[in-house]
């Protein structure tokens, strides 16, 4: 791919121009070459990202004064600036377009929220006894990867059953090396206990081979082998071994039965099924690998309501594979206009041929129709939930005297134990429910804070959050809340009001919510500046909604605090010594028994440990015995 060139045409354009006139001013400098263009408004917010086989021809279509639909007309009228990037081919332009749309999320493009990679199963083979584990992220570890799976829950269920079927270890190397007797997994027949020699390397490698065959879709081969061994054991009156083999075969059957549809006409494919209703679209993505169904996940891409279902699906697929490798076959429920170009772009990234097909008959069509039915049902549930959510937000606006239903609600809570490991938590909710990708934790940093001072903790959290908001005011990426809920009574609300006054925050509604007598749910008191405290009918749906928000903030803050506390409990002073890595730390602990014993050891004692030089021993000794 050659280096892409960004075209600067701003010098030829007069600043006051906007809309069609602004776009026309760019035409003189644009080449008849493929590339990507961005349309932006007067604030610099990206309105639309598009690709073109010829930038000059595509942009000239926007420079006409008529013949556009309402959506395009609005977009043209708002355009105050454009940026252009030329590419070597239309295929490269498509890849760049998908990347920019996913990153910038322009108002007039189809986009979707997707901040997580899909989990895989990793058979890690850089150890004599391979480890079977869940993996997410970059594939840097040596081993065989199987996936993607639609969710961590799907991986967890499959891993549990694979352990019963193939008895492979799931423990870490450090646990494996420190075992002196079999763990509980061996007792419940989910591990062959290679850590203590209950199986040799040859026997374990055979289990690994069988697991790889099964995950590669050759389950029938493995089951036939095990059934043959089971019959032989039965004939030899070795009924205990026959029973173990029977249990392994049953575990494999359980995996296959829990996966629902398992195709016979293809081994690997992704299925995209779209269904639209009321201006919203649901796209169900099913993953088939090794002839097995490895789960599905629904997506609800955002975009102009006027777009047709095929247009939404086409835009979605390009973004979906922006950071993923496409399989050789992609089945779709709609005819995609640029299927050939998208397949070419995906093949360029994947390094193998990619086919995009809308099946017309047979098993493939049945699977796509099943996926469409799933999309239809999922969208119906979402529309019903969104309707109820909108009604609740209308109730919140009426209750708190807001001008409009809040688009973003932020809820704050703190957690600590007598001031130790103090953290603040912020959760976010809106028309689409809880937005967990927007949650934030705040480690309390102030050294002057009195342990357990909830007011000071709340002051620090709110100051850090809203000072940043004020600093980034005007940045289109900054998320501005309409309502801030504080978990607490008049004291906490007073602190919040002081913070807002100090920072000049005036356009965010503040509400305190505290539990009533005996902390009974349903007897909450609400506090709003300038109003008397009040309560709601215990059966009010709005009260229930606000309780859910408060409880979610409490759950998030408590969970964050517990993680911080667990990390502190598990901390080892040896971790703070430069030059003491995992291997030397393990050797020191095995030799002395504890970090306390290491601290009391002399330099000579320390040098007796393998891998600890005299220089390092002196460094360890000095760490525990600093000069007065």
pLDDT value, residue 447: 63
pLDDT value, residue 365: 93
pLDDT value, residue 71: 85
Average pLDDT on 544-553 reads 90
The DSSP bridge pattern shows strands 483-487 and 509-514 to be parallel
pLDDT averaged over the chain? 83
Average pLDDT on 544-551 reads 90
pLDDT value, residue 429: 92
Alpha helices, DSSP H only, in 167-218?
A: 173-178, 184-187, 201-215
Q: Contact 129/204 with Cβ under 8 angstroms?
A: yes
- Cα→Cα distances 178→196, 481, 518, 611, Å: 10, 51, 49, 18
Q: Where are the domains of the chain?
A: 5-104, 120-258, 269-291+298-380, 409-551, 573-624
Buried b vs exposed e over 268-288: b needs ≥16 C-beta within 10 Å?
Answer: ebbbbbbbbeeebbbbbbbbb
- Residues linked to residue 424 through DSSP beta bridges, in sequence order: 414, 442
pLDDT value, residue 584: 82
pLDDT value, residue 167: 86
Percentage of the chain beyond pLDDT 90 is 23
Binning pLDDT at 50, 70 and 90, where does residue 217 land? low
* Secondary structure (H, E, C), 432-501: CEECHHHCEEEECCCCCCCCCCHHHHHHHHHHHHHHHHHHCCCCCCCCCCCEEEEECCHHHHHHHHHHHH
Alpha helices, DSSP H only, in 65-172?
A: 70-78, 90-104, 152-166
CA 554-558-560 angle, to 5 degrees, is 120
pLDDT value, residue 406: 93
Average pLDDT on 198-208 reads 87
Write out pLDDT tens, residues 428-448: 999 888 888 899 988 887 766
Write out pLDDT tens, residues 591-608: 877 777 888 888 888 888
Highest mean pLDDT out of 158-172, 188-202, 613-627: 188-202
pLDDT value, residue 398: 92
pLDDT at 10 exceeding the cut of 50: no
> Where do we find the tokens 């061996």?
186
Write out pLDDT tens, residues 551-584: 898 888 888 777 766 665 556 677 778 778 778 8
Superfamily of domain covering 5-104? GIY-YIG endonuclease (3.40.1440.10)
- Alpha-carbon distance of 443 to 414, in angstroms, equals 10
pLDDT at 222 exceeding the cut of 60: yes
pLDDT value, residue 485: 93
Higher pLDDT, 87 or 417: 87
When mean pLDDT is compared across 245-259, 269-283, 298-312, the lowest value belongs to 245-259
Of residues 100, 475, 495, 487, the one with CA closest to residue 322: 100
Percentage of the chain beyond pLDDT 70 is 89
- According to DSSP, residue 302 is labeled B
- Alpha-carbon distance of 153 to 119, in angstroms, equals 10
Write out pLDDT tens, residues 171-192: 888 888 888 888 888 888 888 8
Mention every residue, 6+ apart, whose C-beta is less than 8 A from residue 167. 189, 190, 191, 192, 199, 207, 248
- Alpha-carbon distance of 168 to 191, in angstroms, equals 5
pLDDT at 84 exceeding the cut of 50: yes
Higher pLDDT, 387 or 482: 482
Average pLDDT on 282-294 reads 85
Binning pLDDT at 50, 70 and 90, where does residue 409 land? very high
Coil/strand/helix, residue 75? helix
Is the CATH number of domain 269-291+298-380 3.30.70?
no
- Alpha-carbon distance of 481 to 342, in angstroms, equals 38
Is the CATH number of domain 573-624 3.40.1390.10?
no
pLDDT value, residue 3: 44
Q: Contact 166/210 with Cβ under 8 angstroms?
A: yes
The DSSP bridge pattern shows strands 292-299 and 329-332 to be unpaired
Write out pLDDT tens, residues 112-144: 766 567 888 888 888 888 888 888 877 778 888
- Alpha-carbon distance of 512 to 484, in angstroms, equals 9
In 502-604, at which residue ranges do the beta strands (DSSP E only) sit? 509-514, 525-527
pLDDT value, residue 344: 92
pLDDT at 472 exceeding the cut of 70: yes
Do 269-291+298-380 and 409-551 come out as alike in CATH topology? Answer: yes
pLDDT value, residue 262: 64
> Where do we find the tokens 């309707």?
387
The tally of CA atoms less than 13 A away on the side-chain side of residue 420 is 10
Average pLDDT on 272-298 reads 87
- What class is the 409-551 domain? alpha beta
pLDDT value, residue 449: 66
Q: Contact 282/375 with Cβ under 8 angstroms?
A: yes
CB neighbourhood size of 438 (10 A) = 14
- Alpha-carbon distance of 321 to 327, in angstroms, equals 10
pLDDT value, residue 111: 84
Of residues 292, 250, 284, 275, the one with CA closest to residue 154: 292
């Amino acid at each position: 791919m050659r280096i892409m060139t960004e075209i600067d045409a701003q010098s030829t354009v007069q600043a006051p121009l906007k809309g069609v006139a602004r776009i026309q001013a760019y035409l003189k400098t644009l080449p008849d070459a493929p590339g990507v263009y961005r349309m932006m408004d007067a604030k610099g917010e990206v309105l639309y990202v598009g690709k073109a086989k010829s930038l000059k021809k595509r942009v000239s279509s926007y420079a006409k004064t008529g013949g556009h639909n309402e959506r395009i007309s609005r977009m043209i009228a708002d355009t105050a600036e454009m940026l252009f990037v030329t590419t070597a081919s239309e295929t490269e332009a498509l890849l760049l377009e998908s990347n920019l749309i996913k990153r910038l999320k322009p108002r007039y493009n189809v986009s979707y929220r997707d901040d997580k990679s899909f989990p895989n199963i990793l058979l890690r083979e850089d150890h004599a006894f391979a480890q079977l584990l869940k993996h997410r992220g970059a594939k840097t570890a040596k081993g065989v990867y199987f996936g993607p799976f639609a969710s961590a829950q799907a991986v967890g269920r499959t891993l549990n059953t694979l352990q019963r079927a193939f008895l492979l270890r799931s423990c870490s190397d450090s646990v494996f090396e420190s075992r002196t007797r079999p763990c509980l997994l061996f007792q419940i027949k989910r591990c062959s206990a290679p850590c203590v020699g209950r199986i040799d390397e040859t026997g374990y490698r055979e289990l690994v081979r069988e697991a790889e065959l099964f995950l590669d879709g050759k389950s029938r081969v493995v089951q036939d082998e095990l059934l043959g061994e089971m019959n032989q054991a039965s004939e030899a009156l070795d009924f205990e071994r026959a029973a173990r083999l029977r249990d392994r075969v049953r575990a494999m059957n359980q995996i296959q039965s829990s996966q629902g549809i398992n195709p016979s006409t293809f081994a690997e494919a992704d299925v995209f099924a779209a269904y639209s209703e009321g201006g919203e679209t649901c796209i169900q993505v099913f993953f088939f690998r090794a002839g097995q169904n490895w789960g599905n996940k629904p997506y609800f891409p955002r975009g102009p309501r006027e777009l047709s279902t095929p247009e939404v699906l086409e835009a979605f697929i390009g973004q979906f594979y922006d950071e993923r490798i496409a399989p050789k076959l992609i089945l779709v429920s709609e005819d995609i206009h640029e299927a050939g170009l998208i397949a070419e772009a995906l093949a360029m990234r994947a390094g193998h041929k990619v086919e995009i097909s809308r099946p017309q008959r047979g098993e493939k069509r049945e699977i796509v129709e099943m996926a469409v039915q799933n999309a239809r049902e999922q969208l119906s549930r979402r529309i019903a939930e969104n309707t109820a959510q909108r009604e609740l937000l209308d109730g919140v606006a009426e209750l708190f005297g807001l001008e409009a239903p809040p688009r973003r609600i932020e809820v704050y809570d703190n957690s600590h134990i007598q001031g130790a490991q103090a953290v603040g938590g912020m959760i976010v909710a809106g028309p689409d429910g809880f937005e967990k990708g927007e949650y934030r934790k705040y480690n309390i940093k102030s050294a002057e804070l009195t342990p357990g001072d909830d007011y000071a903790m709340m002051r620090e959290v709110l100051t850090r959050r809203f000072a940043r908001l004020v600093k980034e005011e005007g940045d289109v990426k900054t998320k501005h809340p309409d309502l801030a809920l504080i978990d607490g009574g008049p004291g906490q609300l007073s602190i919040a009001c002081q913070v807002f006054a100090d920072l000049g925050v005036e356009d965010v509604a503040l509400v305190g919510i505290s539990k009533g007598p005996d902390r009974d749910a349903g007897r909450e008191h609400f506090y709003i500046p300038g109003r008397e405290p009040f309560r709601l009918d215990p059966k009010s749906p709005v009260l229930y909604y606000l309780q859910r928000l408060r409880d979610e903030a409490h759950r998030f803050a408590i969970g964050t605090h517990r993680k911080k506390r667990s990390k502190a409990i598990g901390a080892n002073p040896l971790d703070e010594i430069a030059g003491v890595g995992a291997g030397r730390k393990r050797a020191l602990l095995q030799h002395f028994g504890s970090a306390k014993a290491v601290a009391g050891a002399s330099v000579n004692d320390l040098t007796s440990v393998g891998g600890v030089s005299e220089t390092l021993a002196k460094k360890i000794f000095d760490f525990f015995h600093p000069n007065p």
